[in-house]
Amino acid sequence: MITKIKNKANKLLAIFDLEKLFVNSGNVFLRRVLGLVLSFLWIMLTTNLFGAEVFGLVSLGQMFISFGAMFFGLGLDTAIVKLGSTHDHYFKGVLQSNFLKKSIILTFVASLIFGVLLYFFKDLIAIKVFNNQKFSNYLLYISIFFFMFVLHKTTASFLTVQEKFTKFGNYYFFFPNLLILICVLIAYQFKLPGYYIILGFLLSYGIFGLILLFSFFNIPLNIKKNISYKSILNLSMPMMISASFLFISNWTDTFMLGAMVSKSELGVYNVAFKLASLALIIIASVNTVLAPKIAKLFSDNNIEGIKIEVQKATKLITWVAFPLVMILILFRTKILLLFGDEFVIGSQTLVIISLGMLFNAMSGSVGQVLNMTNNQKQFRNFTLISAFINVILNFYLIKSSGIKGAAIASLLSSMIINILCIIYIKRKYGFYAFFKL
């Protein structure tokens, strides 16, 4: 029976020419799923062992980490993929320029600046913004160990350039979440305060970032081109702004809920958001494989090739995302009960966010297309528009509808940025990236 299903699946993939994309993205997808399972396990342990309030503070801590990684990562993780996918900088396993070394140096310096700033303003942020003195301890550990998290993000991106997708999946998704799970259990066993969970979160990623950094010392060098810091930043900064404001759109709800509702409600919302984000795992997995491929095709001026690859990717993403979203919607109450009785109030919120994720999936990898085809500035503009609208929507909708209002704002802003990107790609390159039957 299993063999028959497998054979039929292979035939279906062959009909639509998806075999290679499915295998490569499937390797990442499998590790991401395993990592996500572990992620939900440590979230469930945190909510059940430490309570919704502690998880709310952990969620806020993750938001600050993601915020810092977006702004002070300088977009270098995406720039590395773009540069490394061209023969001028990396060819047949040999570095042709010093772009990787200089990118890591820039990442390290920028992340230290963020850590210092956060250290001096941690009490102000905790008390004046979130009215919670406990949160200061979370920010303290973030300020000290933040650079390790950003180092991991930057070094892992180069694995996609090397087409080491299995290793990327292990180091980016599976291993860190396994270590975080262990850290949560240790914190509970020794009755440590909740902020030790955020410390474990940072170290879990940082350890594997350091391992990857040392592994890069073995990459052969044939430095024919010296790329300046200015050139790297000229490429990466628009990507950083795009990623940062995309982050703002994704996390505005969490930030504003943290200031406008109870920490327990914030914890409920973040569980619903993380569940809905299951639909994004296939998007991120496919994009990991797709991004360097688009960059290479664009360097060869092969727009038709980009169209084919993007539309194939959209089909694969939609086929996987749709049933996931339907499961979340149909069994939302039972799923939320796994995290505790107090999380059931997030059922409607889960439905709204899930629909937004489905629209995102069916729109295609529009952000990757723009970033990898020298349209990063246009993508930056679209994210600015979306982020601005999202802030306004959250402000008014949270006031009137609480966490459901934040979910509606997330849905609408996601639709806006995807529609803008779809229209731009159609006008410039003559094809639609979204799902078509």
pLDDT in tens, 220-271: 888 878 888 888 888 888 777 776 666 666 666 766 776 676 767 777 787 7
CB neighbours (10 Å) of residue 106? 20
CA–CA distance, 363 with 432 (Å, rounded to integer): 9
**In terms of pLDDT, which residue wins out, 251 or 6?**
251
Structure tokens at 253: 């709800």
**In terms of pLDDT, which residue wins out, 56 or 147?**
147
pLDDT recorded at residue 11: 45
Structure tokens at 198: 């955020």
pLDDT recorded at residue 18: 47
pLDDT recorded at residue 208: 92
Residue 394 pLDDT exceeds 80: yes
pLDDT in tens, 167-188: 888 888 889 999 999 999 998 8
pLDDT recorded at residue 202: 92
pLDDT recorded at residue 254: 67
Q: 133-137, 185-189, 332-336, 339-343: which has the minimum mean pLDDT? A: 339-343
Residue 1 pLDDT exceeds 70: no
Q: What is the mean pLDDT of residues 26-47?
A: 77
pLDDT in tens, 343-380: 888 888 888 888 888 888 888 778 778 877 878 778 87
pLDDT recorded at residue 217: 83
Residue 148 lies in a domain: yes
- Reduced to 3 states (helix: H, G, I; strand: E, B; else coil), residue 85 is coil
Q: What is the mean pLDDT of residues 413-428?
A: 87
pLDDT recorded at residue 435: 61
Region at 114 (left for phi over 0; alpha for psi -120 to 50; beta for the rest): alpha
CB neighbours (10 Å) of residue 284? 17
**CA angle 257-259-265, nearest 5°?**
45
CA–CA distance, 279 with 321 (Å, rounded to integer): 5
Say if residues 205 and 178 touch (Cβ distance below 8 Å): no
Residue 116 pLDDT exceeds 90: yes
Residue 137 lies in a domain: yes
- Reduced to 3 states (helix: H, G, I; strand: E, B; else coil), residue 433 is coil
Structure tokens at 95: 């570095």
Domain of 341, in residue numbers: 2-429
pTM beyond 0.85: no
**CA angle 309-299-316, nearest 5°?**
15
Say if residues 393 and 408 touch (Cβ distance below 8 Å): yes
Say if residues 146 and 68 touch (Cβ distance below 8 Å): yes
- Reduced to 3 states (helix: H, G, I; strand: E, B; else coil), residue 90 is strand
pLDDT in tens, 273-326: 878 777 777 777 677 777 777 877 887 788 888 888 888 878 877 887 888 888
Q: Structurally, how many domains does the chain consist of?
A: 1
β-pairing verdict for 94-97 and 90-91: antiparallel
CA separation, residue 423 to residues 73, 286, 318, 392, 434 (Å): 29, 22, 19, 24, 10
Residue 227 lies in a domain: yes
Q: 3-12, 195-204, 319-328, 406-415: which has the minimum mean pLDDT? A: 3-12
Q: What is the mean pLDDT of residues 36-58?
A: 83
pLDDT in tens, 68-91: 887 888 888 888 888 888 888 888
Say if residues 309 and 294 touch (Cβ distance below 8 Å): yes
Residue 435 lies in a domain: no
What's the pLDDT band for 135 if we cut at 50, 70, 90?
confident
Residue 437 lies in a domain: no
Residue 164 lies in a domain: yes
Residue 9 pLDDT exceeds 70: no
On average, the pLDDT of the chain sits at: 81
What's the pLDDT band for 22 if we cut at 50, 70, 90?
very low
